[in-house]
């Protein structure tokens, strides 16, 4: 296993290129075997999780002081691009575990760093990002509430579409103080998923794609949450969720769309090169070449925007948030076009589960709502454009 980390002597480019080669080899070999197993069983086996952990791929992005390998964000996305060519549940594990520390670390107490953040980076503790609700958006209108009673907060409400919400050891959860509105009343907790009275966990994992990743509906009825679970200060709940996690996570999801689109087009090329119609290879047909050319250009353009958004985040530029939303908006629309054309190249064969493009096509739909729908991203970008803060 290649060790890559940012040191005082600089980034080890040779080691990083070796890491990329190792990930690529795994994705094409062992990763495909795991993909077939996940589709067959509908589960991510504990052995797969341990394999990802042993390879060091769950701790790529975090700084060394948290036990990570300190791969710079834009370079980490190159690994995400490769991993995303594999099964969506594998991508989801790498994506989430390499990202949740960003929301936790700046606000965590020393005790929370040792008890939750470092174990999460190490892959020993699983933390689920818990924001979305069925009856509200994913921002200042959240309705899950808490009230302070001495050394305890009492929580009521419901969350849904919570990835890893069933198996997580902790929920990184956003709520609001009873009687408040807007962002100022929001709070965040590192809340243990340990049988708290009044907490109901409903397995909601029967999805179109991303088979094997667990998802939960969480219902809270007068659930006692220890005050020591508070992450940051009262009023910082959305700051933790939106700035700490969602901004870079949107860029990561955008790069996952690039990687999956690359896999879809690769499958289309492979099929077109072996399929014959009327004595000629399908790939020699002009209509098919147009599909593949359009896909190539679409992917390249989206990838360039994603990397620009990553650099803006790294440099803490004022347009980082706008570019984050723009990159996801463009990349997921691109993924829809590319996978549709890739499936069309396969003709009727692509509709059967025995062909990998069928799974890729299903998995591609998830990015459309991960970390906010495109409608939300357009609102963010649109507001930046009309107020002159978009950057150009």
Q: Which residues are catalytic?
A: 371
CA–CA separation, 87 and 68 (whole Å)? 24
Q: How far is CA 76 from the centre of its chain?
A: 13
Structure tokens at 240: 């933790």
- Of 134, 132, 178, nearest in space to 154 by CA: 178
Residue 152 β-bridge partners: 149, 226
Burial class (CB in 10 A: 0-12, 13-18, 19+), 390: middle
Asked if residue 133 lies in contact with residue 142, where contact means CB atoms within 8 angstroms, the answer is yes
- Of 267, 253, 323, nearest in space to 83 by CA: 253
CA–CA separation, 267 and 343 (whole Å)? 9
CA–CA separation, 344 and 323 (whole Å)? 31
Determine how β-strand 127-130 pairs with β-strand 170-177.
Answer: parallel
Length of the chain: 392
Structure tokens at 2: 């290649």
- Of 222, 219, 241, 223, nearest in space to 232 by CA: 241
Three-state DSSP state, 185:
helix
Structure tokens at 326: 């723009």
CA–CA separation, 68 and 241 (whole Å)? 21
Asked if residue 364 lies in contact with residue 339, where contact means CB atoms within 8 angstroms, the answer is yes
Structure tokens at 331: 């990349």
């Amino acid at each position: 296993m290649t060790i890559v980390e940012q040191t005082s002597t600089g980034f080890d480019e040779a080691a990083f290129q070796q890491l990329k080669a190792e990930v690529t080899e795994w994705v094409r070999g062992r990763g495909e075997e795991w993909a077939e197993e996940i589709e067959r069983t509908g589960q991510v086996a504990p052995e797969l999780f341990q394999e990802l952990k042993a390879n060091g791929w769950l701790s790529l992005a975090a700084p060394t002081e948290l036990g990570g390998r300190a791969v710079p964000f834009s370079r980490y996305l190159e690994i995400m691009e490769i991993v995303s060519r594999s099964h969506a549940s594998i991508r989801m594990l790498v994506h989430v575990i390499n990202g949740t520390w960003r929301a936790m670390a700046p606000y965590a107490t020393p005790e929370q760093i040792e008890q939750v953040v470092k174990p999460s980076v190490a892959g020993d503790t699983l933390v689920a990002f818990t924001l979305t609700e069925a009856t509200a958006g994913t921002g200042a209108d959240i309705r899950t509430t808490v009230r302070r009673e001495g050394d305890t907060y009492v929580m009521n409400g419901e969350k849904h579409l919570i990835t890893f919400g069933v198996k997580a050891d902790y929920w990184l959860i956003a709520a609001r103080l009873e009687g408040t509105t807007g962002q100022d009343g929001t709070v965040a907790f590192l809340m243990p998923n340990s049988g708290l009275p009044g907490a109901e966990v409903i397995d909601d994992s029967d999805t179109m794609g991303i088979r094997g990743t667990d998802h939960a509906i969480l219902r809270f009825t007068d659930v006692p949450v220890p005050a020591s679970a508070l992450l940051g200060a009262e009023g910082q709940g959305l700051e933790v969720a939106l700035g700490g996690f969602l901004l870079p996570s949107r860029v990561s999801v955008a790069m996952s769309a690039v990687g999956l689109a690359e896999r879809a087009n690769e499958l289309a090329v492979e099929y077109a090169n072996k399929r014959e119609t009327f004595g000629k290879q399908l790939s020699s047909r002009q209509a098919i070449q147009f599909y593949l050319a359009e896909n190539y250009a679409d992917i390249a353009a989206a990838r360039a925007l994603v990397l620009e958004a990553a650099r803006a985040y790294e440099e803490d530029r004022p347009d980082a948030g706008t570019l984050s939303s723009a990159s996801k908006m463009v990349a997921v629309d691109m993924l829809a076009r590319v996978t549709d054309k890739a499936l069309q190249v396969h003709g009727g064969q692509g509709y059967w589960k025995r062909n990998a493009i069928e799974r890729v096509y299903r998995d591609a739909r998830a990015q459309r709502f991960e970390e906010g729908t495109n409608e939300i991203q357009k609102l963010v970008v649109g507001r930046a454009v009309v107020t002159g803060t978009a950057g150009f």
